[in-house]
Copies of this chain bind each other. A is one copy, B any other.
């Protein structure tokens, strides 16, 4: 017997899972659209030159490279690779469409591919879900990143979260304030672990990284609220963004300025934001910020103002499952149309057609005969209702609708049954 496997780190999204994911994606897409973020899709692969040099050594190792077709490929030549994120493709789109109206606001919900180690349970194909606003430095654009995340999570029922807000330039000033301007990255890497390893852990790590006791002590004073020299402009920016976010309807209890948020080591140039679920869930479910240096990389036009946020959609799917926020239905089919016999099949099919016209999802049994067996099949599949059309019903122009959980029955025309299901 032939054996067949999935590639490592890949998965099939079976119907029960897909139905739930589509609901989440539709909800998120609708929230995005309400803010003027409109959908973009880019190809799965990009030219290798477009992707190389963008992700650092580690990232490059994780790229899936595609052989040239024909002779070049036989010689091992590569011309394409699967996209690793949605930001480099966006930069390419902006470079190739210089006439596009700015600000350009786009959402993009598509898979990306990374050859992560599957033994760690990491997926090699997973969806990313980004919105970005290109071409404006208005703080409205930054605040909208906070507002869409707020609205999307709220719409999904994930209501207990905190959006943390900080500024890349404040972090830089912080490093300088403790005399560690050169060790900024190292400092940020340590601070970034605060959630995971706590204050003591971060202190220990900073000492190990060569920071002095005095530096560490000063650092905590600044993180606790002491004014960091040279940051008044950036603090003011954050307050404006926060004010706008509140005007946009963001719940003031769900967002806060937080100097310990160390997101974005190289990438971000201005405000940064990150969302964590309250209640001890570790890790972020969304993150973003202003990154003015990246979008212009292909156009040669220098910095292009850009701000965006990414919803950790795979993590959100998983958490919603864990938290019972996903529908538990195995199927979206509402009615199992049993087929009593060949003689009544026509009437059954016609009734099914009436229900479908009314927007109801009906699967017709491909097995005729014993109704008990057909009811059982429907129940096993998680279909809530069965429809029966025996000789008496066929003669009377009616059908019987049976609620498979309660056993309740309703008899009427197909039109009446459609209304009954709608109630």
A residues engaging B (CB < 8 A)?
Answer: 1-7, 10-16, 18-19, 22, 29, 33-36, 38-47, 49-50, 61-62, 64-67, 69-70, 73, 75-76, 78-80, 82, 92-93, 95-97, 101, 103, 105-106, 111, 113, 115, 125, 133, 136, 138, 140-141, 144, 151, 243-244, 247-249, 297-300, 331-333, 339, 345-346, 349-350, 352-353, 356-357, 359-364, 366-367, 377, 380-381
Contact = CB atoms under 8 A, between A and B. Distances in A.
Contacts of A92: 4, 6
A45 B124 CA distance: 10
A350 B8 CA distance: 48
Contacts of A7: 43, 45-47, 79-80
B67 A65 contact: yes
Nearest to A43: B10
A388 B65 CA distance: 51
B356 A34 contact: yes
A116 to B, nearest CB: 10
| Complex A-B, nearest 3 residue pairs according to Cβ-Cβ distance, in ascending order | A36-B363, A15-B38, A1-B300
A353 to B, nearest CB: 4
A40 B15 contact: yes
Given A45-B125, A244-B349, 7 more contacts: A2-B300, A12-B40, A18-B39, A22-B39, A36-B363, A64-B69, A248-B352
Contact of A34 (B67, B140, B362, B367): B362
B249 A35 contact: no
Contact of A247 (B101, B346, B356, B361): B346
Contacts of A93: 12, 14
24 contacts: A2-B95, A4-B47, A4-B298, A5-B96, A6-B46, A7-B47, A12-B43, A12-B97, A14-B97, A15-B38, A15-B106, A18-B41, A22-B39, A34-B360, A35-B363, A62-B69, A64-B80, A66-B67, A67-B76, A69-B115, A105-B363, A140-B349, A144-B364, A244-B349
